[in-house]
Structure 1
Amino acid sequence: MVAAPALEGQADNGSAVKAQGTLTRADERMIDDLQRGAFDYFLRHTHVHSGLVADTSRPDAPASIAVVGFALSAYPVAVERGWIAREDAVGRCLDALRFFAGSDQSGAADATGWRGFYFHFLDGDTGRRAWSSELSSIDTALLVVGMLTAAAYFDAATPSEDELRRLANLLYDRVNWNWSEHDDDAVALGWKPECGFLNYGWQGYNEAIVLYALGLGSDTHRLTTASFETWTETYQWENLYGIDFLYAGPLFVHQFSHAWIDFRGIRDSFMREKGCDYFENSRRATEVQRQYAIRNPRGFGGYGQDGWGLTASDGPSVEPKTVAGRRQAFYGYAARGVPWGPDDGTLNNACVAASLVFAPEIALPALRRLVVEAGATGGNALYASGVNVTAGGDTPWISEGVFGLDQGLTVLMIENFRTGLPWRLTRSIPCLRAGLRRAGFTGGWLQP
């Protein structure tokens, strides 16, 4: 078992490497360039007036409500770093909040949402449902936490910032979280006007803690505490490569909620029983990924000590080929994970950058390698959703375009590594604090 580190009194960025002074100037420049390049996605792919942000940079891609949530959370980082003027950032946030406040909430097949939730994908020009997508509980949560993060940062007594905060609170209060808890206390993944609730809810550990925290913190349409307990009863504690941890295969599961919530030193009943917390658990999950890549049981190219990172990502859709004596298929977009897959040799760079805050001693060498390798391909691989050496033949297969979720996660998690700004902002949001307490979290910054 890997022992948990001391949790009390840690620096805001949680970085052992930085505290020890081993982050070189070249590392600082590399991280700054990577973070700034990721933020530029939002400047290039946000629809004028609506504030909706494209899911990917590919032509005609719809907007993703989750990507909007990441954008709203990234604007405070950009203001602090001087990448964008405060007034411009406020205007961009207001564009999005005004759009959602005035959007069609009828639940019709071509509406924007219903009961305060929103369809996962929206037409970037009209704001109406795209791709027959579901009314998504988790993507709505990622959007709403972005709204609240922006409201926590833009706290000036000006008409525009007053309006931003008012709209963020209005939109949060409008979400009927309790309605989504439709079947034996389980929160539904989604709903469609054509068929109602999807036939499955949250099972096993995943990215949904931020959803439960928001839903349990609501004063208008609160989730029951039983909903959180029902979910955690499906958790799976494993020992892999000698490491005890709460299992989830893809790395994004161990990262998304952490973009906003500082889990260092706060524990729910499950983690108290295990003598762990979710931050430490993500550190262990990162090491599990690295150990899997070192062992490389399926013989893929590019895997190794500094070549790891399986998560939900784009991947090649090419003909199967022979790899290590077997016929290997390739899966396109998939939630890849370790050690039980799916795995087709596709790695994602954003999840490596997001691991800096948990395990800088292994993430930094991997990032240095990625930067060098990306330079050899003209830089396209650095921000790509997926890179697959095995499928590419003479040159690596690289995903076309970039994905907004990857870029948002990169901006926020690097900032948590560098300064802890997103964590400080969300620690000040009353409903998140209340929701975490109702979920049974105690200790650390949640103490009175």
Structure 2
Amino acid sequence: MARIPASDLGRTLCGPVPQEASLNTVEPLDELQQLQRETFDYFLHEVNPVNGLILDKTATNWPASIAATGLALACYPVAVERELMSYEAAISRALATLRFFWESPQGPEPDATGYRGFYYHFLDMATGQRAWQCELSTIDSALLFAGALAAAAYFDGPDVREREIREIADVLYLRADWQWALDGGVTLTHGWKPESGFLGYRWEGYNEALLLYVLGLGSTTHPLPDTSYAAWTSTYRWERFYGYEYLYAGPLFTHQLSHVWIDFRGIQDPYMRRKGIDYFENSRRATYVQQAYAIENPRSFDGYRKCCWGLTASEGPGPARLNLNGIQREFYDYVDRGAPLGPDDGTLAPWAVVASLPFAPEIVLQAIDYCVHQAKLKEFNRYGFKAAFNPTHPGEAGNPYGWWVSPWHFGLNQGPIVLMIENYKSGLLWRLMRKCPYIVAGLRRAGFDGGWLLSSS
């Protein structure tokens, strides 16, 4: 491929996707289908088929991620519908995964798979035991439960295997002790370790915990109290940037992960009723703020423009300090990058752009087109887009891009691409989760009303 020098990347024109672009035109449809297929291949190949565990990251000797595994469970129905995976393969994979989690050891022992119904963030790919002395993670367990419930909603037929999927998904979810995870407080803790007890952090401020609280409230066994949701929303931060008023969170993924599962269009909780919008509209505004920030480009990074944006939690080329064109630049490793308040070191994440597709297709399709055809970010990659790139950082000598590009793929990034493309095209996962009684109950206990909730049983 002809390399685009980093100094020229910011001056290239954006791809010719008009404001009114939609999937009624053949080219965007084909491009999204191809990206969805290539991205889903991660879940086909980076898996232990015996236990269904999905690799967290394509690096040597890396463990599984329960969040990536939950996303995979939700992707299997999409794969069946899009003929990326046979029904037989999907049902076998889902069953292997759910059986593993139900049968794996639960207890306070440091090498168990979970405790109190929750699971450790990272698990050994082969044994399923806790890896790296990691935490028992409430949010990653929630993503696992959401995936199990999505599979249960899809496999709703009379087949004995489908019934088993539904039964195991149900008992897995209902085993989680949400009240224990409060640790005597009013908001949920981030997690727990057998060596030291509960982590010092709680889920406060607007973030991806929206799904976490809905699941905790919807439980019929150990539910969160109503007061926990009100306590969480009381920590929200309303801001105005670039002419948009919205509920602030800097990284894009915080405006996306809960929306992967739940259709927030037209439904409002008490907080959003007071503001006169819903969470879907909030994510649309956050997406536009990201683009506006890239256009302004206050830190003068290479590449930023109206079709090149997307700050989120991701790895980066650091830690490093480099003098580039007379400017001292500091680069970070993994950090929650965000707009417009930072941190920002010029690192962008294509997956986070794609995951905003349902909110603002008129600007996201243009950015996808740019990433594919001008930045060439699918070349040399096995599973669609790599996790992140930084046009300001020169990268390793001899790299084919001319700037830094992550060498890895992450399961946590791959899932939202597959699922948000599908939600944009057909709303499949949203429709499945509308049928989930625990999601409906959790939303109602949080005070949500209106829209599709009015007709839900």
Find the aligned partners of 2:19 and 2:306 in 1 and give their Cα distance.
21
Q: Tell me, yes or no, if structure 1 residue 218 matches structure 2 residue 219.
A: yes
Aligned to 1:384: 386
RMSD (CA atoms): 1.7
2:409 to 386, 402, 411: 402
Return 174-183 or 292-301, whichever deviates more: 174-183
Percent identity of equivalent pairs: 53
1:23/1:306 CA distance change after superposition, 3 Å: farther
Find the aligned partners of 2:65 and 2:377 in 1 and give their Cα distance.
31
CA contact (8 A) 1:299 1:324 kept: no
Aligned to 2:442: 435
Aligned to 1:149: 150
Aligned to 2:344: 343
Structure 1 runs not aligned, ≥5 long = 1-16
Find the aligned partners of 1:209 and 1:186 in 2 and give their Cα distance.
12
Quote the offset at 1:107 in angstroms.
Answer: 2.3
1:21/1:233 CA distance change after superposition, 3 Å: closer
Q: Tell me, yes or no, if structure 1 residue 311 matches structure 2 residue 318.
A: no
Find the aligned partners of 1:160 and 1:366 in 2 and give their Cα distance.
41
Could you give the per-residue CA deviations for residues 410-440 of structure 1, whole angstroms, max 9, x where no partner exists? Answer: 0000000000000000000001000000000
1:377/1:161 CA distance change after superposition, 3 Å: closer
1:426 to 419, 422, 433: 433
SS in 1 for 2:250: coil
Counterpart AA for 1:74? C
Counterpart AA for 1:441? F
Find the aligned partners of 1:366 and 1:160 in 2 and give their Cα distance.
41
Counterpart AA for 1:351? A
1:361/1:197 CA distance change after superposition, 3 Å: same
Quote the offset at 1:378 in angstroms.
Answer: 2.7
Find the aligned partners of 1:106 and 1:168 in 2 and give their Cα distance.
20
CA contact (8 A) 2:266 2:278 kept: yes
Aligned to 2:93: 92
Find the aligned partners of 1:284 and 1:19 in 2 and give their Cα distance.
18
Counterpart AA for 2:425? R
Quote the offset at 1:339 in angstroms.
Answer: 1.2
1:384/1:377 CA distance change after superposition, 3 Å: closer
Find the aligned partners of 2:430 and 2:296 in 1 and give their Cα distance.
35
Quote the offset at 1:327 in angstroms.
Answer: 2.3
Find the aligned partners of 2:378 and 2:424 in 1 and give their Cα distance.
28
Aligned to 2:47: 46
Counterpart AA for 2:131? A
SS in 1 for 2:447: coil
Find the aligned partners of 1:58 and 1:204 in 2 and give their Cα distance.
32
Quote the offset at 1:58 in angstroms.
Answer: 1.6
Find the aligned partners of 1:311 and 1:191 in 2 and give their Cα distance.
25
Aligned to 1:25: 26
Could you give the per-residue CA deviations for residues 224-249 of structure 1, whole angstroms, max 9, x where no partner exists? Answer: 11111111000000000111000000
Counterpart AA for 1:275? G
Could you give the per-residue CA deviations for residues 139-194 of structure 1, whole angstroms, max 9, x where no partner exists? Answer: 00000000000000011111111111110001011011111112431100111111
Find the aligned partners of 2:108 and 2:214 in 1 and give their Cα distance.
25
The alignment of Structure 1 onto Structure 2 pairs a total of residues equal to 432
CA contact (8 A) 1:72 1:150 kept: yes
Counting only pairs closer than 5 Å after superposition, residues 28-427 of structure 1 correspond to structure 2 as 28-317=29-318, 319-323=320-324, 326-375=327-376, 378-380=379-381, 382-392=384-394, 395-427=402-434
Aligned to 1:8: none
CA contact (8 A) 2:98 2:165 kept: yes
Counterpart AA for 1:147? A
CA contact (8 A) 1:97 1:168 kept: yes
Return 328-337 or 373-382, whichever deviates more: 373-382
Counterpart AA for 1:26? E
CA contact (8 A) 2:353 2:364 kept: yes
Find the aligned partners of 1:261 and 1:377 in 2 and give their Cα distance.
29
CA contact (8 A) 1:374 1:382 kept: no
SS in 2 for 1:327: strand
CA contact (8 A) 1:177 1:221 kept: yes
Counterpart AA for 2:334? Y
Quote the offset at 1:83 in angstroms.
Answer: 1.0
1:376/1:34 CA distance change after superposition, 3 Å: closer
Aligned to 1:12: none
Quote the offset at 1:48 in angstroms.
Answer: 2.1
Structure 2 runs not aligned, ≥5 long = 1-17, 396-400
Counterpart AA for 2:387? S
CA contact (8 A) 1:121 1:131 kept: yes
1:242/1:447 CA distance change after superposition, 3 Å: same
SS in 2 for 1:329: strand
Find the aligned partners of 1:343 and 1:221 in 2 and give their Cα distance.
40
SS in 1 for 2:39: helix
CA contact (8 A) 1:299 1:323 kept: no
